[in-house]
Chain A
Amino acid sequence: MTQNKSTAGISIKNLGLSFGTTEVLKGVNLEIEPGEFFSFLGPSGSGKSTLLRAISGFGPDPTGSIKIGGEEVTGLPAWQRNVGMVFQSYALWPHMTIRKNVAFGLEERKVSSTEIDGRVDDALDLVGLKHLADRTPGQLSGGQQQRIALARTIVVEPRVLLLDEPLSNLDANLRVQMRRDILALQRELGLTTIFVTHDQEEANTISDRMAVLDKGIIQQIGTPVELYDQPQNRFVASFLGTANIIEGSITEGHFVAEKDFKIPVKTDLTGNIYLVIRPQSVTISETEVTENNRSYSLKGNIEYSEFLGETVRYSVLSNGHSILADESHLRGNKIVANGQDVWIEIEKDQILLLDR
């Protein structure tokens, strides 16, 4: 199978969608480049699967516009969109052999039977399961079914490939392997791909760019690193990784929160603010440390600790606020006891301030 020449970008403008009176998507705007690996990340009920299904032509009619390769597809039925969709449940037809399943889309396109044979073989080769061609889906493991579902979709050379939580039914080890395989396949085919997941590790490792969704709204679009380092709002900051988020306000060059929590900050922002700091940017010390060029210092007291293997996560109560601090763990390191007085250091350039 060769590089896909017909792959297309996707352009979504002001898309809205409702189930009855419930709005599930609101004002979605999105540009996906041809050949890009793009992810929709969000909690369940965020609208990510609904958005994917709207692109493939399922679900209620949306308002706004969806263009694939410059062609407006809203109003087109699914079978005329040439959009490849891989379902969460794989949706292999149990009454057909693997070969029949994979050949289905080509038969619908009235491809000649000799060509079908060749292309089905190629597609099965691509996913490494040619030897299973004459089995039925029930005889295959979950991982194999997943590969067949992929083969069945890409064999018709769709303009874009849509994957709806494709790894969620696989066990942990297989999931890591499959996501590498999917990415390799996507790179080989150069096929514009959208991957829906609620698992941030999956999205981070596989995506060129991704969109974080919540409550039917795209919260932020960017590369995984951009989203992690520069979250634009509280939701993105807390959804990607772990963050200490403290509500407060800017008063006279200081960030001030309840119960005398106060640190000096340099910012143009005014009024109500979230202060965001990742646990790995906070260090604890059993001996007193003072503020220096690099970091602020606060006195506190260990509330509890969680041993996570590579790190130990401490919760430190300081001026009425619980602050998480991750310490990397090396063999023999002792864990600081609960109730112990400690000093925490917060690295100045790791502090992020967000408008509330």
Chain B
Amino acid sequence: MTVKASSGFLSRSNFGPKALAILIALFLIMFLAVPVAKVFIVAFQDPSTGSFTLINFVDFFKTSLFRESFWNSFYVSSVSVVVASIIALPLAYFTSRFNFGGTVIIQTLGIVPLIMPPFVGAVAMQLLFGSNGSVNLLLDEHLGFTIPFMEGLNGVIFVQSIHYFPFILINLSAALANIDRSMEESALSLGSNGMRLFRRIVFPLSMPGYVAGASIVFIKVFDDLGTPLLLNVNNMLAPQAYLRISSVGISDPMGYVISVILVIFSLFAMWVAFLALRGKDYATTQKGGGGLMKRDMKPAEKFIAYAIVLFILAVVLSPHLALGLLSFGTIWSYSVLPDAYTLEHYVEVFSSAGDFIKNTLLYAGMAATIDVVIGTAIAYIVWRTKIKGRKILDYLAMSALAVPGVVLGIGYLRTFYQFDVPFKDIPLANYWLIIVIALAIRRLPYAMRACVAALQQVSVSLEEASESLGARKMTTVKRIVIPLMTGGILAGFVTSFATAAVELSATIMLVSSEADAPIAYGIYVFMQSAAGRGPGAALGILAVVIVALGTYVSNRIIQKANQKNAMSPDQH
């Protein structure tokens, strides 16, 4: 460290935070900004001469497979938003408008899909809804027709919609709950009612929440690699990028062109969400009574509502059910249910796939640790110090949101292939630690938000009290700030851990040998062969258990932390 050299322009009290800020900035530049920049540069570079060119993009749009992939990605994302909306709208409507007993089920529905990554259930869904799946076999036998749920793009749309609709449900429900009752009452007393009132007042006020949720769904589906890969739908953008790099090689410019397009669409969707929300802080609730008027349902309405909710619940739980059946079934082909049941797959998983599990725990644990350390540091630097340019750290970390996993993976391959790991004779791009870093970068925005939320609950006066009693900045941070943030930091850790444990898109690009692979990669490999489906499903169930436990634990931690904070007099 060049402490002496830098202490001249760094004031004493600010030295620690400043040094930390610089270190974090270097880390983010090296592992986020540079790889993404590299992807952009290669996309606009002539492969042979290295000069600036648009020829790669021209080639891209000249190739019919790429044009088709582009439209397919766009089509699948758009239709997924529509289908997800169709699922989410009635659910949000029931909870916000009626005193509905099924509200608990609906809240559960908002979480259940998210604990299983879509690609995990994708293959199992084929056995349930595919052309020779249980549902179509039954339909054919009793009604004489079949529905192509899983044919080609339909399958991707179906799997993605039932996985991602909670983003719309959660955002829309929050927007509806934030509309103050007086908004509606004033319209009523001015002579408006029924559909007109809904169209003129309720709908526009809840629109920003809906658009925010819909744009998240759009990005997630547009960027997703695992689901199309596992469903063997390769004529979409993310799978094309992966296949070009993994089959043609890292010098082929098409993978980079696709990456640029993916990033641009991510930014575009985020921009749409930003526009929708800008200047529209419609949270109008006053102290005390909030939310729209609710009324009791008539018996017939109640019946219909329950029928819809239970139907959606059944559809949403179908990937879990199918995966469970697949993991316990012996042979399941051309039949409604598996022929027989066995524990063999689990035995196989535990005997042969121990490395996957060990790697997953190690990688996700390390990534989550990096996330909360950097997240806490950035939160403190941005919100509690006056260091110049501190906001840049925040933006830099958040910008990871716009970088799809495939793009980060390609960027790492290209950038770090030239760097050898010290004392080892392999490129950094092939070393397992790069997977950890990729996971950490991908999950950092979420962990950081959790840390910022935790820090904002610690009143500045608590720190000032400590300093006025003689504690230095570092001591104050260590003895006051961090202990008070523990709940939020832990929650951030667990969320990061659980989601990193099942991340596939960046991982699949960076795994260089099966011994280094985590569980998500293992599931992908198993699912490639018919014989591997059983063990793959068992591994999938294991992944679901890890994510579910993680989600449960982080919710518990957040609840506990809230209770503790509610008791502290600082809140009043």
**A residues lining the B interface (CB < 8 Å):** 56-58, 77-85, 87-89, 91, 93-95, 104-105, 108-109, 136, 138, 149, 152-153, 156
Q: For A153, list chain B residues within 8 Å (CB).
A: 189-190
Determine whether B223 belongs to the interface, using a CB cutoff of 8 Å to chain A.
no
Determine whether B205 belongs to the interface, using a CB cutoff of 8 Å to chain A.
yes
Give me the 8 closest cross-chain CB pairs, A-B, nearest first: A105-B190, A91-B182, A78-B188, A108-B191, A91-B186, A87-B182, A85-B189, A79-B193
Q: For A82, list chain B residues within 8 Å (CB).
A: 191
Determine whether B558 belongs to the interface, using a CB cutoff of 8 Å to chain A.
no
Known: A89-B182, A108-B196. A95 touches B187 (CB 8 A): no
Q: For B205, list chain A residues within 8 Å (CB).
A: 93-95
Known: A79-B192, A89-B180. 17 other contacts (CB 8 A): A57-B188, A58-B188, A78-B185, A79-B191, A83-B189, A87-B185, A91-B185, A91-B186, A91-B284, A94-B280, A94-B282, A104-B187, A108-B187, A108-B191, A138-B281, A153-B190, A156-B191
Alpha-carbon gap, A260 to B183, bound state (A): 60
In contact, B188 and A77 (Cβ under 8 angstroms): yes
Task: Please name the residue on chain A nearest to B191 by beta carbon.
Answer: A108
Alpha-carbon gap, A79 to B187, bound state (A): 8
In contact, A138 and B279 (Cβ under 8 angstroms): yes
Task: Please name the residue on chain B nearest to A162 by beta carbon.
Answer: B189
Q: For B192, list chain A residues within 8 Å (CB).
A: 79, 104-105, 108
In contact, A81 and B189 (Cβ under 8 angstroms): yes
Q: For A156, list chain B residues within 8 Å (CB).
A: 190-191
- The interface residues of chain B, by DSSP majority, are classed as helix
Determine whether B286 belongs to the interface, using a CB cutoff of 8 Å to chain A.
yes
Q: For B284, list chain A residues within 8 Å (CB).
A: 89, 91, 94
Alpha-carbon gap, A94 to B284, bound state (A): 8
Task: Please name the residue on chain A nearest to B183 by beta carbon.
Answer: A91
Determine whether B391 belongs to the interface, using a CB cutoff of 8 Å to chain A.
no
16 CB contacts below 8 A, A to B, read: A56-B185, A57-B188, A78-B193, A81-B189, A82-B191, A91-B186, A93-B201, A93-B205, A94-B281, A94-B284, A95-B205, A108-B187, A108-B196, A138-B279, A138-B281, A149-B186
Alpha-carbon gap, A108 to B185, bound state (A): 14
Determine whether B200 belongs to the interface, using a CB cutoff of 8 Å to chain A.
yes
Q: For A83, list chain B residues within 8 Å (CB).
A: 189
Q: For A77, list chain B residues within 8 Å (CB).
A: 188, 193
In contact, A108 and B190 (Cβ under 8 angstroms): yes
Q: For A95, list chain B residues within 8 Å (CB).
A: 204-205, 207, 280, 282
Q: For A81, list chain B residues within 8 Å (CB).
A: 189
CB of B49, distance to nearest CB on chain A (Å)? 54
In contact, B189 and A57 (Cβ under 8 angstroms): yes
CB of A191, distance to nearest CB on chain B (Å)? 15
Q: For B180, list chain A residues within 8 Å (CB).
A: 89, 91
In contact, A89 and B286 (Cβ under 8 angstroms): yes
Task: Please name the residue on chain A nearest to B196 by beta carbon.
Answer: A108
CB of A84, distance to nearest CB on chain B (Å)? 7
In the complex, which residues 195-244 of chain B have their Cβ closer than 8 Å to any Cβ of chain A? Answer: 196, 200-201, 204-205, 207
Alpha-carbon gap, A85 to B183, bound state (A): 12
CB of A87, distance to nearest CB on chain B (Å)? 4
Task: Please name the residue on chain B nearest to A78 by beta carbon.
Answer: B188
Contact of B191 among A58, A93, A109 (CB under 8 A): A109
Q: For A87, list chain B residues within 8 Å (CB).
A: 182, 185-186
In contact, A152 and B190 (Cβ under 8 angstroms): yes
In the complex, which residues 486-536 of chain B have their Cβ closer than 8 Å to any Cβ of chain A? Answer: none
CB of B389, distance to nearest CB on chain A (Å)? 31
Known: A93-B205, A95-B205, A138-B279. A84 touches B196 (CB 8 A): no
Scoring B residues 263 to 307 as 1 if CB is less than 8 Å from chain A, else 0, what string do you get? Answer: 000000000000000011110101000000000000000000000
Q: For B286, list chain A residues within 8 Å (CB).
A: 88-89
In contact, A93 and B185 (Cβ under 8 angstroms): no
In contact, B185 and A104 (Cβ under 8 angstroms): no
Q: For B186, list chain A residues within 8 Å (CB).
A: 85, 87, 91, 93, 149, 152
CB of A265, distance to nearest CB on chain B (Å)? 46
Alpha-carbon gap, A138 to B188, bound state (A): 22
CB of B493, distance to nearest CB on chain A (Å)? 37
Q: For B182, list chain A residues within 8 Å (CB).
A: 87-89, 91
Known: A89-B286, A93-B201, A95-B282. A79 touches B185 (CB 8 A): no
Known: A95-B204, A95-B282. A84 touches B188 (CB 8 A): no
Known: A91-B182, A93-B205. A79 touches B279 (CB 8 A): no
Alpha-carbon gap, A152 to B280, bound state (A): 21
Contact of B189 among A84, A89, A109, A136 (CB under 8 A): A84
Task: Please name the residue on chain A nearest to B194 by beta carbon.
Answer: A79
Alpha-carbon gap, A149 to B187, bound state (A): 12
Alpha-carbon gap, A78 to B186, bound state (A): 9
Q: For B207, list chain A residues within 8 Å (CB).
A: 95
Alpha-carbon gap, A240 to B519, bound state (A): 74
CB of B436, distance to nearest CB on chain A (Å)? 45
Task: Please name the residue on chain A nearest to B279 by beta carbon.
Answer: A138
Alpha-carbon gap, A156 to B191, bound state (A): 9
Q: For B196, list chain A residues within 8 Å (CB).
A: 108
Alpha-carbon gap, A138 to B282, bound state (A): 10
In contact, B185 and A58 (Cβ under 8 angstroms): yes
Q: For A91, list chain B residues within 8 Å (CB).
A: 180, 182-183, 185-186, 284
Contact of B190 among A88, A94, A104, A138 (CB under 8 A): A104
CB of A74, distance to nearest CB on chain B (Å)? 16
Q: For A109, list chain B residues within 8 Å (CB).
A: 191
Q: For A57, list chain B residues within 8 Å (CB).
A: 188-189
CB of B210, distance to nearest CB on chain A (Å)? 13
Alpha-carbon gap, A88 to B183, bound state (A): 11
Interface centre among A77, A78, A81 (most CB of B within 10 A): A78
Q: For B279, list chain A residues within 8 Å (CB).
A: 136, 138
In contact, B282 and A105 (Cβ under 8 angstroms): no
In contact, A56 and B280 (Cβ under 8 angstroms): no
Alpha-carbon gap, A70 to B204, bound state (A): 38
Known: A93-B183, A95-B205, A104-B200. A56 touches B282 (CB 8 A): no
CB of B456, distance to nearest CB on chain A (Å)? 23
Alpha-carbon gap, A46 to B193, bound state (A): 30
Alpha-carbon gap, A152 to B191, bound state (A): 12
CB of A272, distance to nearest CB on chain B (Å)? 40
CB of A200, distance to nearest CB on chain B (Å)? 23
Q: For B201, list chain A residues within 8 Å (CB).
A: 93
In contact, A56 and B204 (Cβ under 8 angstroms): no
CB of B294, distance to nearest CB on chain A (Å)? 13
Interface centre among B182, B190, B193, B281 (most CB of A within 10 A): B190
Alpha-carbon gap, A77 to B193, bound state (A): 9
CB of B74, distance to nearest CB on chain A (Å)? 29
Q: For A152, list chain B residues within 8 Å (CB).
A: 186, 190
In contact, B280 and A78 (Cβ under 8 angstroms): no
Alpha-carbon gap, A88 to B200, bound state (A): 22
Alpha-carbon gap, A153 to B286, bound state (A): 20
